[in-house]
Amino acid sequence: MKFSSKIQRCELSPIRKFYPYQVACNKKGIKIYHLNIGQPDIETPPAYFQAIQQRHKPVLAYAPSPGIPELIQAVQRYYARLGIPYAEEDILITTGGSEALQIIFNCILDEGDEILVPEPFYPNYDTFAACAGGRIAPIPTFPEEGYHYATREKIEPRITDRTRAILITNPGNPTGSVLTPEEMRLIGDIAREHDLFLISDEVYREFVYGGEPLQSMGSLPGLEENTIIIDSVSKRFSACGARVGAIITKNRALQQHALKICQARLSVATLDQQACAALYDTDPSYFAAVREEYKRRRDTIYRKLQEIPGVICKEPQGAFYVMAKLPIDDADAFQTWLLTEFQDNGETLMYAPGGGFFATPGVGHDQVRFAYVLNCQDLTRAMDLLKLAIAQYNAR
């Protein structure tokens, strides 16, 4: 039997290789501060659980393929509050932002086609592109420049006749970068001038810390045919386990193509959709409190990282990640060492090594991503551990 060449090019999660060390560490009774995964510790609004516990019809039937009307209308009202008037037909409910990306990639990529993505990027884009027969063409960025990518000079030379789309994550995972309105406009202009789709992954929209109004590429006039918003309840409502997201675009031809795949996979889980519809009535005070908490964490981890000699990072403006260059040879080797040789008062830490966020060979191995999904006290201790560990590691 043969496996496809595309699946052989894909890789298992780069975090996975540390799992045996993590288990051994736990067995020795060592406490690990987990800054390696993007699972928020914030409570899901109780409305979700209340809605799912309501009386249900006796037959748990398929939902309509585009999504249940209550949820589509809730998403529609949410965007109306942002000042973006989407029609119900502009919204397709998906099994998380993940399925939204898989569907869109299948709609636009043939064998050998490319999607332009600022690097470092969310590693799963790579697997989704490969499965659709295409590949990620990276736009290199640098920690010394705060991973800035929104200039014509960085983007345009990378466009080829195989480029089908520009994909951005805003606010950014893993970099925490947030585009200015002018930068959004620039990227939109480039997409339109080159007749490219503009896929805007905005699942971290609410997580911005500079007091900016909430943004969306969907608000830019003249880009209605180009723009595709990837949305999700996972981070917005700390409801990662609901697996509910959306494809949002005014491009009707694209919606019709995407609907073919939605119909083939039948539907998204019925009760999760009902419960997510209820989430959209969450009081704005919820987001204000969550934003305040993450801002405190961002400030804490950034302050502590600056105190470590040789660390290069700029203050992240959004999401709940910070990407940094560490003064070490190799982030994979350092992580292994942290789990096998290091401990301080019975404690150590984990992060996401940078290599997995890069498509350019050999790049990113001295960079790491921290998810600040722990409280400030734990973050402070984790960064103290990091400082101590770097010193010990380099003095070996």
Restricted to residues 217-276, the positions that interact with a second copy (CB under 8 A) are: 225-226, 238-243, 251, 253-254, 256-257, 259-261, 263-272
Q: Which is nearer to a second copy, 40 or 316 (CB)?
A: 40
Q: Which residue has the tokens 């191995």?
A: 365
Q: Write out the binding residues for a second copy, residues 324-363 only, by CB under 8 A.
A: none
Q: How far is the CB of 314 from a second copy (least distance, A)?
A: 28
Total number of residues that touch a second copy (CB under 8 A) = 80
Stretch that binds a second copy, among 108-116, 146-154, 178-186, 320-328 (CB under 8 A): 108-116
Does 41 engage in binding with a second copy (CB under 8 A)?
yes
Does 95 engage in binding with a second copy (CB under 8 A)?
yes
Q: Which is nearer to a second copy, 37 or 388 (CB)?
A: 37
Stretch that binds a second copy, among 37-45, 74-82, 296-304, 381-389 (CB under 8 A): 37-45
From the list 40, 120, 146, 356, which residue makes contact with a second copy (rule: CB under 8 A)? 40
Q: How far is the CB of 342 from a second copy (least distance, A)?
A: 27
Q: How far apart are CA 182 and CA 67, in angstroms?
A: 34
Q: How far apart are CA 388 and CA 95, in angstroms?
A: 42
The helix-helix angle for 69-81 and 270-279 (nearest 10°) equals 30
Q: Write out the binding residues for a second copy, residues 121-180 only, by CB under 8 A.
A: 124, 127-128, 131-133, 164-165
From the list 21, 31, 42, 158, which residue makes contact with a second copy (rule: CB under 8 A)? 42
Contact assessment for residue 224 and residue 250, using Cβ atoms and an 8 Å cutoff = yes
Q: How far is the CB of 257 from a second copy (least distance, A)?
A: 5
Stretch that binds a second copy, among 28-36, 45-53, 337-345, 377-385 (CB under 8 A): 45-53
Query: Strand, coil or helix: what is 230?
Result: strand
Q: What is the DSSP letter of 316?
A: P
Does 52 engage in binding with a second copy (CB under 8 A)?
yes
Does 296 engage in binding with a second copy (CB under 8 A)?
no
Q: Which is nearer to a second copy, 82 or 271 (CB)?
A: 271
Does 301 engage in binding with a second copy (CB under 8 A)?
no
Q: Which is nearer to a second copy, 16 or 27 (CB)?
A: 16
Stretch that binds a second copy, among 24-32, 74-82, 100-108, 137-145 (CB under 8 A): 100-108
- List alpha helices for 109-201, DSSP H: 124-131, 152-155, 181-193
* Cross-strand bridge partners of residue 140: 119
Q: How far is the CB of 160 from a second copy (least distance, A)?
A: 13
When computed from its CA atoms, the radius of gyration of the chain, rounded to whole angstroms, is 21
Nearest CA to 297 out of 389, 235, 207 is that of 207
Q: How far is the CB of 345 from a second copy (least distance, A)?
A: 28
DSSP labels for 333-349? Answer: HHHHHHHHT--BTTEEE
Q: How far is the CB of 100 from a second copy (least distance, A)?
A: 11
Does 39 engage in binding with a second copy (CB under 8 A)?
yes
Does 282 engage in binding with a second copy (CB under 8 A)?
no
**How far, CA to CA in Å, does 116 sit from each of 154, 191, 200?**
11, 11, 12
Q: How far apart are CA 133 and CA 248, in angstroms?
A: 23
Binding mask 65-84 for a second copy (x = CB under 8 A): x-------------------
Does 109 engage in binding with a second copy (CB under 8 A)?
yes
* Cross-strand bridge partners of residue 167: 199
Contact assessment for residue 271 and residue 23, using Cβ atoms and an 8 Å cutoff = no
Does 23 engage in binding with a second copy (CB under 8 A)?
no
Omega within 30 of 0 (cis) for the link into 118: no
Contact assessment for residue 297 and residue 304, using Cβ atoms and an 8 Å cutoff = no
Contact assessment for residue 370 and residue 324, using Cβ atoms and an 8 Å cutoff = yes
Q: Residue 100 half-sphere exposure, CB side, CA atoms within 13 Å?
A: 26
From the list 27, 111, 210, 361, which residue makes contact with a second copy (rule: CB under 8 A)? 111
Q: Residue 302 half-sphere exposure, CB side, CA atoms within 13 Å?
A: 19
